[in-house]
Homo-oligomer: A and B are copies of this chain.
Amino acid sequence: MPHTLLISHPMLGPMQAGLEAQGYRVLRRWEMGEGDAAAVEAIVHAGEIVLAPEFLQSLPRLKLIANVSVGYDGVDVPWCRARGIEVTHADGLNAEDVADHALGLLIGAWRNIVAGDQMVRAGRWNNADRMGPRPGLKGRKVGIMGLGHIGAAVARRAEAFGMVVSWWGPNPKPDAAWPRAQSLLALAEGSDILVVACRADAANRQAVNAQVIEAVGPRGMIVNVARGSIVDEDALIAALKDGRLGRAALDVFAQEPTPAERWEGVPGTVLTPHSAGGTVDSLPSMIGQTFENLRRHFAGEALLSPVSA
């Protein structure tokens, strides 16, 4: 009897053939038929999508949620653990890619690269009226929220541009190469650019609130490559409209896909469709790790990358 997996979202659909080639029976959540729920032994999942406990309770044989992604904020891990459901994720595999994208957002927004492209294509470039000059990057203070794999990779890149790095996270890191601020608010107050690079959890939900946003200030910028849930997006939009925040470069949003109309008339923004983490280099590694976690689970071996929290 083959083991039965459930792919939780259409964006993971391309994995189906590979999973079937490994001998699994693969169901699709968006096409479930009668009796399917009773068969599901593991879910192949993208961690940013919410898996409601009510749905999980309808799967009596479920024993594993294997996240292809690094993040797993859509999964209630303590709830799963209490019911004997294990959770795995990709462990740091795309940190370099996410950090690359974070710098692309940072420079693209700070140095008017996206706005410049719009200007050239609209025929609004004329030599007598260039865009106003922007501050350079050298010497700018970048504050990183979360100094994990991604945050540290952002820090190393920022230093190559002559930026001055500090960070904040809930836990001190005695070996960190950069100073830790006293608090998230202190980090924001001391930064020209705040980069959100931490794992999302219940403790940091909307932690980047109106007060933190205003501390970054009218000449400052917020970059988010973590999760939309960490930022109070309504407060962010209001601050950008009022000029209390200078710029925002976002790869993640409160709701994804974010509605285009939500950003109409919001100045100083660069927006990408949650594309920081997936490259042709990182995706095969992440998928390979998912396959190995599935294999180990069904073989009764220790999982390769269980969620550690």
On A, residues with C-beta under 8 Å from B are 9-11, 13, 96-97, 100-101, 103-105, 107-108, 111-114, 116-117, 119-123, 125-128, 130-131, 133-139, 156-157, 159-162, 256-261, 263, 270-275, 278-283
Contact = CB atoms under 8 A, between A and B. Distances in A.
7 contacts: A11-B128, A112-B272, A113-B272, A116-B273, A134-B279, A135-B279, A156-B160
A96 B135 contact: no
A116 B258 CA distance: 12
Contact of A112 (B127, B261, B275): B275
Contacts of A135: 279-281
B136 A96 contact: yes
A139 B281 CA distance: 10
A113 B120 contact: no
Given A136-B280, A160-B159, A111 B101 contact: yes
Pick the most buried of A113, A125, A160: most chain B CB atoms within 10 A of its CB. A113
Copies in the complex: 2
Contacts of A256: 125, 127
B121 A263 contact: yes
Pick the most buried of A125, A126, A258: most chain B CB atoms within 10 A of its CB. A125
Nearest to A103: B107
Given A11-B127, A135-B280, A275 B116 contact: yes
B121 A271 contact: yes
Nearest to A273: B125
Pick the most buried of A120, A270, A274, A279: most chain B CB atoms within 10 A of its CB. A120
A121 B266 CA distance: 11
Contacts of A275: 111-112, 116, 130-131
A270 B117 CA distance: 6
A309 to B, nearest CB: 25
